[in-house]
Every structure is written in C-alpha cells, then in structure tokens.
Chains A and B, each alone.
Chain A
C-alpha cells in the first residue's frame, strides 16, 4: 500500500509532523523559536556519526535526541531573560550559527556534506515517533508541568507569583522541543542518506514555524494539520510544475488572512 513515492511522502510528512511538535511544545510555554532547523542539524549530524561508528540505530537516535536536548538547554539559558521578538531573533541567530558551524566543521564533512548513512529510517519508526510526540503534546495539557507551561504563556509574572519555577519550566519546554527536533533530524539523515548544512538553514526553521502557526497554536492537532497541509499541498499541486511554490506562498498568505489564528481552533482547557 505504501510504497515508493507515497512511502517517501509519508516519511517526510512524519518528519515534518515531528518538527511541528518540536516547536509546538516550547510555544505552549510562549517560547517562539525560529531556530528549530539548528536542533534538527545537531540531531542529524550526531546520529549519523554514531551509526557510522557502528552503533545500533535506535540507540543512536535516542542519543542524538539527548545531545540535542542538552544543546536546547544551552540555548534556553539566554532565553530565560528574553522573550517575544528578542527570543525569535536570538533563536534565528542560533540556527545560523549551527549552520555555519557544520559548514566549516571538517570532521563531519564540512561544506562537502556527510553521506554514507544506511537507510534505517522506515515508516514504522517515524510513525511511532509521531504518535509518541502527539501523546506527549496531548497529555501535557493535563499534567502539572504542562499546566505550568500554559500559565507561563498566559502571564509570566502571575505564574511566578503562583509558585511556578520559571527557569525550570522554560528550560524543560525548550529542551523537550529540541529533543523532538533532534530525533526528527536523525530520521531525516537516515532517510535522505546525505546531509549538508544548507538543508538545515533558515527555511527549515521557518517551515517548523509555519507548521505550528498554520495549524493553530493551542491544540495538539494543530502541528499535525499544519505539517500535512504544508507537505501535501506542494505534492498534490505538482502539476503546476514550476509555479507550485508560488502557489504555496499564495496559499500561506491566503490562510493567514482567512484564519489568522490557525486552521484548528485552540482546545479549551477543562478544569476538573
């Protein structure tokens, strides 16, 4: 049923859904990032180096996720004092730094890129990771940490006054998002089988941002819907040939005008 062309679209869709969740979770706490591509790069490069050294795939993926989560904490530390537009541009700068780093870091291939990974990624891996990420994003709304994140998003000062540990909540949100982006990167590397730094530039980060905002913030279905639309529309309209990205751009403008708060409305919190 899922073979060839459709299987590859399904896998890329899955990776995009993961990227959507990687930004959705920090955004639950009001942390907007335009640097998710940088986290994806870290996951992709570190997992590739590990599997090339002979480590089993799933351990490499998990390790890459942990490494990326650590880097998420590093980026998150300056982010504690900064919010809104400052944070967006700061993370954008982080993404660029990561890109330029891998462009010049010869140990991982430098400007020539890194190839020679084995095709470990399959639909089952990506699918179960998506389901896991969706479950986490959904359950997050019902547990202490997730409620704290929503409170931080709504009003930082009030949340802190209520006893929410801002530093802990923000860092957790950021590194959890980074963890997912790292795993998405690992899957991407072992499916594309060739990675170079340009693949993880600003456009990749902007994509993750699009998935979430297009789909709608405040509902775990949002990033899924956003990623699905953004992945499938350019595929379905392949007959437009060279004009399909122009069409996609026009669609983005139109959807922002039509539903400025995203395709899927925010889920209402039930207080029990």
Chain B
C-alpha cells in the first residue's frame, strides 16, 4: 500500500533528476506541504479526499514552480556547480518546514478519515477502503503520467529535454518552460503522495518530509537514476519488502531495511535495477 506513495515521491525525484541532473533536497517538504493542503481543505470545506487531492495537486504544483524560479533557475543562469542548488534547496526545505511548524505547531495533526472503513475480502488478502483508495490513486497517477509522457506534445518535449537539454533547446523546445513543467508535475506527484500518506497514517507533522525524502532518493537510485518506470517498480518493490520485513524480521529495523536493500542492490548493479545510462561522472 505504501509502495505506491514511495513510488510517487521517487518519480518526482526521477523526473527532476532526469531533466536537470540535480537532487532536489526540498522535495520531501513539498510532500509535507501537500499533506497539509489536503488536511486543511478537508477540515475547512468538509469535502471528500478527492477534492483534497485535487487541491493538493494544484497547490504543490504552484509551489514546485516557485521553488524552481527562486532556488534553481538563478543558479543555473549563473552557471554554479551542481552543489549550489543542493544548498539552496536545503535552505528552501528549512524555510517550508519552519513556516509550517509555525502555523500548525510541531505536534502531529490528526487527519480526518473520510472513508468508511469497510474491509473487503479479495480471496487472498483483506483490504480496507482507505487502502484501496490509496493504491487506486497511486496507480491512476502513474498511468496518467505515463500517457502524458509518451503521448502528448509536452511529454515528448520533456523527454527530449531529459535526453539532452542543449540539443532540445536548439531544436526549438522552450526548455525553461519544460523545466518549470517538470517541477510542477514532480511536485504535484509529491503532493498526492502527501495526502495519501496522511490518509494512511491518519496524522501529519511538519517533519514528515525528511524520512520520505531520504527513502524516495534511495528508491530513485535503486530504480535507476532518472528512470521513471524504474522508480515506479522500485517504489512498489520497497513497499512490499518493508511489509515483509515487519512481518518476518524486525519491525523496528524497517527504516534501515530499505537502505540495506539499496546498498546490496547497488553493489550488485551499481547503476540500479533499470539502468538508464545517464552519465554521473562529475
């Protein structure tokens, strides 16, 4: 169930890395913001999780664009090293985390569970409505993304930019526009994941982003840098693996398990499960 949300966050990293070859260290905070937007919409307007999801998508997409304009584009223009955007995104993440702590307090906020929690028997597993909703939303998001990237003009422009930014721009693609679009989509996926995790755990906190950020990075790496489908597969894989770890090994080591798995996979396949051949020689 959580595998779907991991995958969504990891896809966000992957999209941004694919286009800019950068790690976006505030992505976990975008995820957190998405969760809070969903929470507030549900509390203030008394609407269902679907509306909350749409609001979170919109809100985080705008946030993603703002982050790109403030923390990434100016550095790109100045031609700084690839480390500088990491610093500015750490800074942006700090700001988001502090502002949300200020507004909502540092404690966990309860997430309203809007869904009647019926449990269905699918023959081999028992699933609740919430779980079905989460899995369904994650899958729908991924399918929509797939169609967007493979079938639409903008999606193709995005892939061309990821392939080679300079050549894409020579061929008449407005790469600045594409990068903004990439940030919007990646952040929206993070926002969706935020709402879903809120629904799953029924609580959110301003500090929930860090853990997710680190896991998302690990998943992106396991899936293969910049590979969207690799991130999907690796996210789902880790979700299942974590549950198995809790069930059969030790529940307290769940978070370490993900990274142990990552290191082992990297030792065997240093470029991830679905290698993209993206050069990272710097």
Task: Give the interface of A toward B (CB within 8 A).
Answer: 32, 78, 81-86, 88-90, 92-94, 96-97, 100-101, 103-104, 201-203, 206, 209-210, 213-214, 217, 242-243, 245-246, 248-253, 255-257, 260-261
Main secondary structure of the interface of A (DSSP, over half): helix
Chain A positions within 8 Å of B90 at CB level = 206, 209-210, 249, 252
Decide if A246 touches B98 in the complex (CB within 8 Å).
yes
CA distance A88 to B21 in the complex (A): 13
Chain A positions within 8 Å of B71 at CB level = 253, 256
Tell whether A93 pairs with B85 under 8 Å between CB atoms, given A103-B252, A245-B94, A249-B92. Answer: no
Decide if A104 touches B267 in the complex (CB within 8 Å).
no
Chain B positions within 8 Å of A245 at CB level = 94, 98
Can you identify 19 A-B contacts, CB atoms within 8 angstroms? A83-B280, A85-B21, A85-B221, A86-B270, A92-B214, A93-B214, A94-B263, A201-B210, A243-B102, A249-B98, A251-B91, A252-B88, A253-B91, A256-B87, A256-B88, A257-B74, A257-B78, A260-B78, A260-B79
CA distance A213 to B253 in the complex (A): 32
Decide if A209 touches B81 in the complex (CB within 8 Å).
no
B122 within 8 A of partner (CB):
no
CA distance A147 to B255 in the complex (A): 39
Chain B positions within 8 Å of A84 at CB level = 280-282
CA distance A236 to B222 in the complex (A): 42
Chain A positions within 8 Å of B181 at CB level = none
Chain B positions within 8 Å of A203 at CB level = 210
CA distance A97 to B252 in the complex (A): 12
CA distance A271 to B128 in the complex (A): 70
Chain A positions within 8 Å of B225 at CB level = 85-86
Smallest beta-carbon distance B234→chain A, Å: 12
Smallest beta-carbon distance A40→chain B, Å: 17
Decide if B94 touches A85 in the complex (CB within 8 Å).
no
Decide if A249 touches B280 in the complex (CB within 8 Å).
no
Decide if B88 touches A101 in the complex (CB within 8 Å).
no
Decide if A260 touches B81 in the complex (CB within 8 Å).
yes
Interface size on B, residues (CB 8 A): 51
CA distance A214 to B87 in the complex (A): 7
B99 within 8 A of partner (CB):
yes
Decide if A104 touches B253 in the complex (CB within 8 Å).
yes
Tell whether A213 pairs with B86 under 8 Å between CB atoms, given A90-B263, A246-B98, A257-B78. Answer: yes
Chain B positions within 8 Å of A32 at CB level = 83
Main secondary structure of the interface of B (DSSP, over half): helix
Decide if B23 touches A85 in the complex (CB within 8 Å).
yes
Chain A positions within 8 Å of B25 at CB level = 206
Nearest CB in chain B to that of A214: its residue: B87
Decide if A86 touches B266 in the complex (CB within 8 Å).
yes
B49 within 8 A of partner (CB):
no
Cβ contacts B96-122/A at 8 Å (1 or 0 each): 001100100000000000000000000
B17 within 8 A of partner (CB):
yes
Chain B positions within 8 Å of A89 at CB level = 23, 217-218, 220-221, 262
Nearest CB in chain B to that of A103: its residue: B252
Chain B positions within 8 Å of A85 at CB level = 17, 21, 23, 221, 225, 280
Contacts beyond the supplied A78-B266, A92-B218, A260-B78: 10 A-B pairs with Cβ under 8 Å: A82-B266, A86-B270, A93-B218, A100-B256, A217-B83, A242-B98, A249-B94, A249-B95, A256-B84, A257-B75
Smallest beta-carbon distance A203→chain B, Å: 7
B80 within 8 A of partner (CB):
yes
CA distance A257 to B92 in the complex (A): 12
Chain B positions within 8 Å of A257 at CB level = 74-75, 78, 88
CA distance A32 to B280 in the complex (A): 13
Decide if A86 touches B280 in the complex (CB within 8 Å).
yes
CA distance A97 to B260 in the complex (A): 7
Chain B positions within 8 Å of A86 at CB level = 221, 225, 266, 270, 280
Nearest CB in chain B to that of A260: its residue: B80
The 7 closest A-B pairs by CB, nearest first: A260-B80, A252-B91, A249-B94, A93-B259, A260-B84, A100-B256, A256-B88
B93 within 8 A of partner (CB):
yes
- Give which listed residue, A100, A202, A217, A249, contacts B91 with CB less than 8 A: A249
Smallest beta-carbon distance A171→chain B, Å: 16
Chain A positions within 8 Å of B167 at CB level = none
- Give which listed residue, B74, B217, B250, B267, contacts A92 with CB less than 8 A: B217
